[in-house]
Each structure stands twice: as structure tokens, then as C-alpha cells.
Amino acid sequence: MTISMYDASAPRFASMLCNLDAILAKAQAHAVAKKIDPAVLLSARLFPDMFPLLKQVQIASDHAKGAVARLAGVDVPKYEDTENSFEELRARLAKTIAFIKSFAAGQIDGSEDRGIAFKLGGHDMAFKGMPYLLGFAWPNFYFHVVTAYNILRHSGVEIGKRDYIGNL
């Protein structure tokens, strides 16, 4: 049995972003229940040289929409990173999920050998489709999603592995 590039990308990214949205909803409710300024959680980080929660969510969103767009051979939509609240982050995730779900399998399947090139941090990046998905897009996406989870878990939000994995 083989797995298609579509099945290995769009539904996986969308599913994890839905889980992240549910985690953010719990964090938002936690802040209200514990009378914590939401800005405290949004600016929380695991270590001083790491990005805060807000940026982790933005980057996870960027990797998901970027991967699906690049695999489909279309322009990656640009988001301005202006979010400053749980509501705005959740709206960004909803927009990203809708973008990802707008693709059909036929737009992504067969992209295993598609040339993918872009700049990241001033560096030229070049891949073929499958190595890009498996060796770059997935690891970066999951890193930022799990880091967002870990920041909130470390901050006392009552979430667990089931929240991260979601309903498979």
C-alpha cells in the first residue's frame, strides 16, 4: 500500500492545526478561570532564546500553508503576523485550515519530484517534493506545534497527550 503526497500532507496539517486550535481554546479558558492576563501566556517561552507561544503558533501556521502551497505549485499566502490575542491566533488557524482544505488531492499528488525552491532566513532552499515534505516541512511544523503545546503545559494549562494527538 502506498500513501499519497496529499494524504501525507494536507489532512495531517489540517488535523494538527485543529488540535492546536482546541489547545489554544483551553489556554484561553484557563487564563479566564485563573485570572491570568492572556498576554502572559502568549508571551511565555520555554527558554529565553526560544520564540514565545504567539510566534510558535504563527510559524506552525506558516509551515503548514507553505508546505501545501509549495507541493501544489501555487504561491504561498502571506500573513502579516499581527496577532496579539488568543482570538486572533485562533482566527489565523481557521484561515490556514480553510486554505489547506481548499486543495484537492489531484493538486498535490504526484509532487514527489516537483522542484521546490524558496528563501528562508536569507538562505536559498531547494528540495524535491518528498524530501521537502518528510525532511523539512513535517519536522519544522511538528516542532512548533509541540513547542506551543509544551509552553502551555509548562504554564499550567490542563492539557495532555490526547489534546495534542486529537481524535484520529
Residues 10-33 pLDDT 10s: 999 999 999 999 999 999 999 999
User: Does residue 69 form part of some domain?
Assistant: yes
Give the closest residue to 6 by CA, choosing from 94, 110, 139.
110
Residue pLDDT, tens place only, 93-103: 999 999 999 99
Structure confidence at residue 82 (pLDDT)? 97
Split into its structural domains, the chain has a count of 1
Q: Is residue 112 part of a domain?
A: yes
Q: Is 64 within a domain?
A: yes
> Which CATH number covers residue 105?
1.20.120.450
* Between 157 and 167, residue with greater pLDDT: 157
Is the whole model's pTM more than 0.85, yes or no? yes
Domain that holds residue 161: 10-165
In a domain, residue 105? The reply is yes
Q: Name the one residue in this structure whose C-alpha cell is 496577532.
A: 83
Asked if residue 144 belongs to a domain, the reply is yes
- The type of residue at 157 is V
Q: Which residue reads 504561491 in cell numbers?
A: 75
Q: Are 127 and 136 in contact (CB under 8 A)?
A: yes
Within 10 Å of residue 163's Cβ, how many Cβ atoms? 17
Say yes or no to pLDDT of 40 above 90: yes
All three cell numbers of 58? 504563527
pLDDT tier, 156 (very low <50, low <70, confident <90, very high otherwise): very high
